[in-house]
Structure 1
Amino acid sequence: MKHQSGGAEADAEQFDKIADSKGCGDSSKGPKSPRMESQEGKVRQLTRRADFFASRARYADALPLVDQALLLEPNRPELHLGRGQCLMQLDKLEEALTSFEAALRLDSQCISAQRNKALLLAKQRRWHDAILSFREALSVEPTQELRMELARCLTEHAIQLKASGHGDLQLFHEAIQACDSYAPAFFQLGVCYSEVNDSIKAKEMYRKAVQLHPGYVEALNNLGVACRELGEWEHAIEAYGMALKVNQNCSKTRENMAISLLQLGCRHLQRKELKEAGKALKQGLSFNSRNADIYFNLGVLYAEKEKWDQAKVNYELASNFDPRHANAHNNLGVIHRRLGNPEAAMKCFESALEVDSKMNLASKNLGAIYGSMGRMDDAIRLTRVAIDSNRQDAEAYNNLALLLRDQCDVDACLENLDICISLEPESRHAGSNRLMSLNYQSERSREEVFEAHRSWGSCVESSVSQVFSWDGARGNSGPLRVGYISPDFYSHSVSYFIHSALKYHDPAFVAVTCYSDVALEDDKTRQFKELVPQWRTICGRRDDEVAKLIYDDGIDILVDLTGHTGNNRLGVFARKPAPVCITWIGYPHTTGLTRMDYRISDEFADPKDAPGLTTEKILYLPECFLCYTPPETAPPVVLKPAQESYGCITFGCFNNLAKVSSLTIRMWSKLLHEVPGSRLFVKSKALACPKVQDKMRAAFAVHGIQASRLDLTGLQPQTGSHLHMYSFIDVALDTAPYAGTTTTCEALYMGVPVVTLKGRGIHAQNVGASLLSAVQLGDLVTETEEDFVKQAAACAKNLPRLAALRAGLRTRMLRSVLCDGPRHVARLERLYAGVISDLARSNTSALNIQESATGSLAEAQ
């Protein structure tokens, strides 16, 4: 009779032949009587019929026949064995166990009964008893099958104990000793080692399990996990690939494969291996097309390649598949901001903070957006949140400093910049921001400000490992090669002053190359590209790479247009990539670098008897060192003076609020007292914030100026509307010790005179003097505070002059040296030629001296 018991095939002997099998012995001894033979024949007949039913899985029919046979022969172990087999198949396990034990009492060597008892105990999950039973069976017949079953029971018993909190690795090891080909024991050992973070041993166990059972999907999956934890992404991918060959639809395996490819892609990203990263990440999507982290890292990849639209799409997909992916929201905001969509950027940063209210990056970024909108209170609050979440975040302190500076709190700005620099001493941009901020404080001496610049330059130059050495000019044939480097080749203040140099350069005399660090190009950028023969984009490239590029381009004169303003490249100049390095336009003080050879100025901004302190030599342009190109979108001048339209004299200033120093507020307050009934109109980004307005009113209240006399407003969205607001003022007031430049030119272009205060030996304060002298308004350049108040009051009260200036100042300005591009550039390029000639002569003199010395040595010998 063939039975199935406990998942293993039971004995197949026919009941009438059990006495002849090796599983149980024949209990009858000696000669048999006729009665005994008759009884035996009946038992044989019953067992034959039982075997027939059992062979057809009709165990319910077979069982009564076995029971009848037992009534005739109760001491035959094979009958108890057969009964137990039927009962097992009928799932009457306790009765079956009784039958197997009865068989064993009659014949302790009945291996079939012992094995079936063990299988039954295992079926009941009585692992401890099953183990004992299998061990007894093995003592009688040590077969591979029994060893395998013992290993299974030991493994299951260990799992059972582990689940109850009494885990014991020894049982797994005993299972392996019982049968070293039992793969699940190795697998479970791997799980145990994984749980204690011993990935090396876990990997070893999983690999052994896979070797024993190549199609073991669970072991292959866990092998992949162990390899991932060890950073062996390629091996993990190999393991998951093998698992998918067994079951290509296993969702867990496909998910793990996607994660491994994601991690491999991230490793390639960190190493800047962008091609390999893209391949791994895209392959990962083929296994899990809804994995937000893969889309996020593809966004990072495309951002690295500056493919902003593709980066944007992938960040959008990441946030779509995981709306709580704060990093995806944040990075999408960065892309929107880079693409010139601050409103969309703001929403993204806000979404990131909804997910994680203390997210450092999102807090900083949203703070920066709010700051650009003039929402200073919100901007500062968010930046402080970023600092609270990470007290070591140097960048957050830098951002907070600039926000405080924008609202005219320069002291607090410098305090936070000092913290930033203490956290990150190598932060050159923070160092430049600090130097820039020193220019705003009227209380500081010019010597103190200069020394800070010189010290910064010394530190930077000493930290640069590679410096190009020059004995003189290159001696290139053909036009002089001039390079301009700036992050401001777009609609930025600097663009109005570099325009003429790019437009009117003489290609037969000067070959211009622009090194553009512009992150977001606009129409002005594209216009500039058409004006020059060679345009180099350097955004995102390291200083040493840019310096090498400039050197390889064979530039003779490299001109810095940024100084210590934002995103400068002074680190490039510290490497001296050209024979002559010049700073111009962008910054009203020294760079502090000894390797910056010259700074371009004029005799109004830097009088020869009292020039500004500088590490560079000053190159003087005649009349004015600046040339202004007005915006094409400027509205027409409103000819009627403001006081005729609004009934009172209105003074105004549209400069950055940080320039409104204590000196400036004191002068302006004196002027308002000097001209009773007059008003002061101040427009600046930070004044969009009511708290900043209150602070400004309080500063004037100290000098007795009522809040009602102050009109304070934020920026206008368009250049045209910004310029139109000059129609609301009669006389523009300059700031000190940091005068306006673009704002002064804009006021003059809109027909509004500007009154400025000179500063002895302070270039930043004297720029206004240079601009006003260029348009023949030198009488509005004052020497003292009292003179400033007197001239501004007189100018405001002189209605005929104001009307005449409204009507004719724009034309006068366009005809002046200030807007005469061709004449300005011709002078500029002659200045360049003179510098190169001086360098060549200096080099020749040095060569002659060297040759004479050599000759003298030869004679002495």
Structure 2
Amino acid sequence: MKMIVAGDLNKARSIVDEALSYSPKNINLLRLSGDVYLQQQNLDQALLAYMDAMGIDPFNTSVLNSIGSLLLIMKNQKDANGFFLAAHQTDRKDAYAAYNWVHTSMHLSDWGFFEKLNDILRLGDDTPLNVQPFTLLAISDDPGLHKLRVKARCKILSDAVKENRKFVRSSVVGRKIRIGFFSGDFYSHATMLLLGDFFELLDKDRFEVVIYDFGPITDDEHQQKVKNSAYIYRRVKELSEHELVQLSREDCLDIAVDMKGYTRNGRMAVFAERAAPVQVAYLGYPGTSGLGPVDYFVADEVTVPQSQRQHFSEKIMYMPDCYQPNDRNRKQPDVVPSRTELGLPEGKFIFCSLNNPNKVTPAEFDVWMKLLCNVPESVLWILAPNEEIKNNLTREANARGVGGERLIFAERVSMDDHLARMRQADLFLDAFNCNAHTTASEAVWAGVPLVTKAGNQFAARVAASVVTAIGCPDLVTETIDEYYDLAYKLATEADTYSELRLRLQDNLLTTPLYDSESYARNFEKLMEMAILRYEEGAKPKHLMVREKTSTS
């Protein structure tokens, strides 16, 4: 069902209800009724409508998929997984069901699908619209496949809108550049925790910042900081994509920055229609948009080396150090809980993986269990926020000859508590296909070394960028064997470990990673280069700030 304009929802509800009064057993009408309830945010009634449809035909894959998708919205991963699996078993060629089954399985640390993964990855060849790009990142380090899938989705998106390149704003010479940032994450969210004072640091004598916020109203300190630092702050959640494009054009933007991409509640259609003369993908989604009207992608030479440019539809804007912003003024915890308070053993080496569970695959878990076997006085501290994940990880550990008592499960906690507890880890073990991103910078901020393996796609190279920018490139490995060897060495050679941890702490405020001021200046340079190139009538090209700047 196509999205219904908000003002027409009541009318749609009336029409569907009237149709159902004549044909109450019509499965398509029941599904449509559920869709309307969903858009009205009446989730319970939507579920009842879908369940009524399933009662008529329990093997209808469209209905099973609808129920699974709704349960995901309701944050019921386990039951959603069951419905997607049922749809997949009913129709092995249903790409939507298969990919969502994989996605929910990863969130539950249930890896039974991996033996079928290659077949599932190929299902998107014929029905690319049914592949959510974000689901690919954790299960496949193949940037070529990722680009293929997103470009196919974008072709459908681009065909639905007509890009309009006619802009009337005058030259930026002698005036401020107006730059619009589009996101639903301008609140206490991982993106804002990275950005910190970024919007306040942008030079207001050279830039006018316009914020297009389509996220929740929280009025927390992060949202207030954004509001206070913006030249214009707009709440746009209720606007359609086309209306948002029209508003941004009325605001006479020079540059539109998409900070969501294919993450939850992203609004790619805005950029397909083109909101500004220059459009930039930044920070939110760790991969190419595949969308022609998006001109640039912000990266660095570690995350997108020259050999990987071919996997981006955008030209690359190269930040001189790390593409990821970090907040130099991020608070250090006032109180650090003891290991005993965290349920961690005293006197043992604490390997940790506080990544989201959906990033962990059997490949890295094999290595982690090998480390536990060969470093007897060690445990793995791993994020497992529900019993399903704990049971699945314990089963996987047992299958590899490791007792469940060697796994210490961490719950989800507030960001302040998370940053405080991180200090009790000895070594962070990174995931392969989709690295720690925000979590990587949190680890090094806490003084915890992080061992990573640089992969092929952007998402698999972020942690390498983070530790390189903080002056510890020796924490980057290229192969699984090198990854294991380095982690084992750090866990068993006390002097080597102590030297590295001391260097990490010493480098915290003397290397580029947390040099927020220089980061803002370099970002500004790239934006200026892009808009001036546009005004010269030149096509986008790869842009680079040559000199590495530091204000430390």
SS of 1:494's partner is: helix
2:139 aligned residue: 441
Does the alignment pair 1:652 with 2:352? yes
Q: Is the 8 A contact 1:487 1:516 kept in 2?
A: yes
Q: What is the identity, as a one-letter code, of the residue corresponding to 2:321?
A: E
> Whole-Å Cα distance in 2 between the matches of residues 598 and 721 of structure 1?
36
- 1:471-516: CA deviation from partner (whole Å, max 9, x where unpaired): 8985245210111111211222111233333121111101111111
SS of 2:313's partner is: coil
- 1:709-758: CA deviation from partner (whole Å, max 9, x where unpaired): 22234423x22333333244210011112111111111112221111111
Match of 1:623 among 303, 321, 324: 321
Question: Superposed, which structure 2 residues align to 1:107-122 within 5 Å?
Answer: none
> Whole-Å Cα distance in 2 between the matches of residues 838 and 557 of structure 1?
12
2:523 aligned residue: 828
> Whole-Å Cα distance in 2 between the matches of residues 698 and 639 of structure 1?
28
Does the alignment pair 1:681 with 2:381? yes
> Whole-Å Cα distance in 1 between the matches of residues 219 and 121 of structure 2?
31
> Whole-Å Cα distance in 1 between the matches of residues 460 and 69 of structure 2?
33
2:367 aligned residue: 667
SS of 1:672's partner is: helix
Question: Superposed, which structure 2 residues align to 1:568-583 within 5 Å?
Answer: 568-583=266-281
Match of 1:469 among 165, 175, 181: 165
Does the alignment pair 1:730 with 2:448? no
Q: What is the identity, as a one-letter code, of the residue corresponding to 2:256?
A: L
2:215 aligned residue: 518
Q: Is the 8 A contact 1:624 1:774 kept in 2?
A: yes
Match of 1:403 among 104, 114, 117: 104
1:622 deviates by 0.7
Q: Is the 8 A contact 1:401 1:417 kept in 2?
A: no
Root-mean-square deviation over aligned CA pairs: 4.4
2:467 aligned residue: 772
1:561 aligned residue: 259
> Whole-Å Cα distance in 2 between the matches of residues 521 and 394 of structure 1?
37
1:455 deviates by 2.4
> Whole-Å Cα distance in 2 between the matches of residues 732 and 689 of structure 1?
23
Single out whichever of 652-661 and 516-525 deviates more from structure 2: 516-525
> Whole-Å Cα distance in 1 between the matches of residues 417 and 149 of structure 2?
39
2:242 aligned residue: 544
> Whole-Å Cα distance in 2 between the matches of residues 554 and 644 of structure 1?
55
Q: Is the 8 A contact 2:78 2:108 kept in 1?
A: no
1:571 deviates by 1.2
> Whole-Å Cα distance in 1 between the matches of residues 143 and 297 of structure 2?
17
Q: What is the identity, as a one-letter code, of the residue corresponding to 2:267?
A: R
Match of 2:513 among 787, 799, 818: 818
SS of 2:428's partner is: strand
> Whole-Å Cα distance in 1 between the matches of residues 536 and 70 of structure 2?
55
> Whole-Å Cα distance in 1 between the matches of residues 210 and 251 of structure 2?
9
Question: Superposed, which structure 2 residues align to 1:139-178 within 5 Å?
Answer: none
- 1:616-671: CA deviation from partner (whole Å, max 9, x where unpaired): 11111111111112754845557999999622222111112221123222332333
> Whole-Å Cα distance in 1 between the matches of residues 245 and 463 of structure 2?
34
Q: What is the identity, as a one-letter code, of the residue corresponding to 1:813?
A: L
Q: Is the 8 A contact 1:453 1:592 kept in 2?
A: yes
1:585 deviates by 0.8
Single out whichever of 444-453 and 732-741 deviates more from structure 2: 444-453
SS of 1:514's partner is: strand
Does the alignment pair 1:597 with 2:295? yes
1:497 aligned residue: 194
1:480 aligned residue: 177
2:27 aligned residue: none
- 1:767-787: CA deviation from partner (whole Å, max 9, x where unpaired): 111100111111111122111
2:394 aligned residue: 697
CA gap of 1:611–1:516, structure 2 versus 1, over 3 A, is same
1:522 deviates by 4.2
CA gap of 1:593–1:376, structure 2 versus 1, over 3 A, is closer
> Whole-Å Cα distance in 2 between the matches of residues 639 and 811 of structure 1?
23
1:413 deviates by 9.8
> Whole-Å Cα distance in 1 between the matches of residues 499 and 272 of structure 2?
49
Does the alignment pair 1:837 with 2:537? no
1:788 deviates by 0.9
- 1:209-248: CA deviation from partner (whole Å, max 9, x where unpaired): xxxxxxxxxxxxxxxxxxxxxxxxxxxxxxxxxxxxxxxx
- 1:243-262: CA deviation from partner (whole Å, max 9, x where unpaired): xxxxxxxxxxxxxxxxxxxx
> Whole-Å Cα distance in 1 between the matches of residues 412 and 185 of structure 2?
20
1:21 aligned residue: none
> Whole-Å Cα distance in 2 between the matches of residues 625 and 528 of structure 1?
20
> Whole-Å Cα distance in 1 between the matches of residues 407 and 344 of structure 2?
19
Which structure carries more relative contact order (alpha carbon 8 Å, separation 6+)? 2
Q: What is the identity, as a one-letter code, of the residue corresponding to 2:520?
A: V
Does the alignment pair 1:450 with 2:154? no
CA gap of 1:480–1:369, structure 2 versus 1, over 3 A, is closer
> Whole-Å Cα distance in 1 between the matches of residues 194 and 264 of structure 2?
17
Q: What is the identity, as a one-letter code, of the residue corresponding to 1:783?
A: E
1:333 deviates by 12
> Whole-Å Cα distance in 1 between the matches of residues 86 and 334 of structure 2?
42
Match of 1:507 among 199, 204, 209: 204
SS of 2:317's partner is: strand
Q: What is the identity, as a one-letter code, of the residue corresponding to 1:456?
A: R
> Whole-Å Cα distance in 2 between the matches of residues 768 and 746 of structure 1?
11
SS of 2:209's partner is: strand
SS of 1:272's partner is: helix
Aligned residues: 495
> Whole-Å Cα distance in 2 between the matches of residues 694 and 643 of structure 1?
18
CA gap of 1:628–1:458, structure 2 versus 1, over 3 A, is same
TM-score, normalised by the number of residues in structure 2: 0.76
Q: Is the 8 A contact 1:697 1:710 kept in 2?
A: yes
- 1:581-640: CA deviation from partner (whole Å, max 9, x where unpaired): 111111221111121111111111122355461111111111111111275484555799
SS of 2:508's partner is: helix
Question: Superposed, which structure 2 residues align to 1:80-479 within 5 Å?
Answer: 272=7, 367-368=71-72, 372=75, 376-378=77-79, 380-381=81-82, 402-408=103-109, 409=111, 431=131, 433=132, 435-442=133-140, 445-461=142-158, 463-469=159-165, 474-476=170-172, 478-479=175-176
CA gap of 1:542–1:331, structure 2 versus 1, over 3 A, is closer
Does the alignment pair 1:755 with 2:451? yes
Unaligned runs of 5+ in 1: 1-268, 282-292, 294-325, 336-344, 845-861
Q: What is the identity, as a one-letter code, of the residue corresponding to 1:758?
A: A
CA gap of 1:786–1:701, structure 2 versus 1, over 3 A, is same
Q: What is the identity, as a one-letter code, of the residue corresponding to 1:778?
A: P
- 1:806-844: CA deviation from partner (whole Å, max 9, x where unpaired): 678567424432222211101100111111222223359
